[in-house]
Amino acid sequence: MIRDRLWIVCCAVGLFLSQGQAHAATFAVTSLSDLVKNATLVARITIQDRYSYVAKDRIFTRLLANIDETLAGTAPKDPRIEIVTLGGNVEGIVQYVEGSTTQITNGTPAVMALTRQSDGAYHVIGMATGVFLINPIDETVVRMIDPVPASVARSIDTHPNTYDELKRAVQEATRAQ
């Protein structure tokens, strides 16, 4: 009886250990002022294209984007940038990462809080919490991911409703630094 249980436990442990490593993605609630403070660039961008690839046993996606307007920080001389994000689709193998920015469709304008890496590519601060999607018809703003319930968010951070309001809020956060 004990031997049977020990064998079952050993099999379960063996199955667990034989599986590939699991990596979790986490992101924290990030206020607009914290996004601006930690960003090397806050800009209105438009995603033009994307490609996914495998590196270090993970799938990454490079979003190819144009900087339409710089709101804070220093933009590179070339307005075309690459934004690297976790997740994507390579040859039918999909890696979905909650909070990833791979779901943004090409042509959609967005304001992103970015940090530049040593390889020249950018990363979004706070994953999707650092992305504000802009409706191209009426310039209304939707935070890509609302990191906290709306009732709590109102007490933490006022959410700009339009692109002009967001632009002013970013400028105010820049001056407050």
Look up the CATH number of the domain holding residue 118.
2.40.50.120
Q: Is residue 77 part of a domain?
A: yes
154: exposed, middle or buried (Cβ count in 10 Å: 0-12, 13-18, 19+): exposed
Q: Is residue 17 part of a domain?
A: no
The count of domains in the chain is: 1
Q: Is residue 6 part of a domain?
A: no
Q: Is residue 12 part of a domain?
A: no
Q: Is residue 7 part of a domain?
A: no
User: Residue 67 and residue 41: Cα distance in Å, rounded?
Assistant: 10
User: Residue 130 and residue 39: Cα distance in Å, rounded?
Assistant: 10
- For residue 28 the two structure tokens come to 């924290």
* Domain span holding position 121: 23-175
pTM of the model: 0.77
User: Residue 134 and residue 167: Cα distance in Å, rounded?
Assistant: 12
- For residue 65 the two structure tokens come to 């984007």
Q: Is residue 10 part of a domain?
A: no
Strands 109-116 and 122-124: antiparallel
Q: Give me the residues paired with residue 62 across strands.
A: 51, 84
Q: Is residue 16 part of a domain?
A: no
pLDDT per residue rounded down to tens, the chain (177 residues): 444 433 343 333 333 333 444 445 555 557 888 999 999 999 999 999 999 999 988 999 999 999 999 999 999 999 999 999 989 999 988 888 877 777 788 998 999 999 999 999 999 998 888 899 999 999 998 877 655 555 444 444 556 889 999 999 999 999 988
Q: Is residue 83 part of a domain?
A: yes
Strands 88-90 and 109-116: unpaired
